[in-house]
Amino acid sequence: VEDAEAAMRVTLENAGTTALAVASLYGGARVALALQERHPAVGGLCLVAPDVDPLSLVRLSCPLLVIVGAEDTRVPRAALAAAVAEAGGDLEVIDDAGATFHRNLPQVGRAAAAWLQRLSGG
């Protein structure tokens, strides 16, 4: 988490902004969640195939996008959907994809880009 905090500080300084969105992949979701909990500058979380307990998402107070593959069975989908909904977030399910999105990276990118556009007011 310390390395991510340092990277976040550098990004905020160089961008001249007071807020940023954090994206993570798989187990990196734990780091993203810790950053959001510790730093109000984290104004949004995009978690791709998060390897976390869905209940850890319920308490989030920032915009949230969770992207999962339709064939990813690591986290129970119903529990994940309920947690994302309770947090007021969005769940994007990518068809014909597992946890690694080998053939579906363009869809992941488009979903994240559209969410960032909405987050920035565009």
Q: What is the pLDDT of residues 63-101, one digit of tens each?
A: 999 999 999 999 999 999 999 999 999 999 999 998 888
pTM of the model: 0.92
Q: Which CA distances in Å does 79 have to 55, 73, 83?
A: 8, 12, 6
51 band by pLDDT with thresholds 50, 70 and 90: very high
- pLDDT in the model for residue 120: 86
Instruction: Decide if pLDDT at 122 tops 80.
Output: no
18 band by pLDDT with thresholds 50, 70 and 90: confident
- pLDDT in the model for residue 95: 93
59: DSSP letter: T
CB–CB of 105/7 below 8 Å?
Answer: no
- The CATH number linked to 112 is 3.40.50.1820
Nearest to 60 by CA among 35, 90, 37: 37
Query: 71 is in which domain, residue-wise?
Result: 2-119
- pLDDT in the model for residue 6: 94
Gap between the Cα atoms of 43 and 20, Å rounded: 5
Into how many domains does the chain fold? 1
- pLDDT in the model for residue 79: 96
Gap between the Cα atoms of 85 and 8, Å rounded: 27
Mean pLDDT of the chain: 93
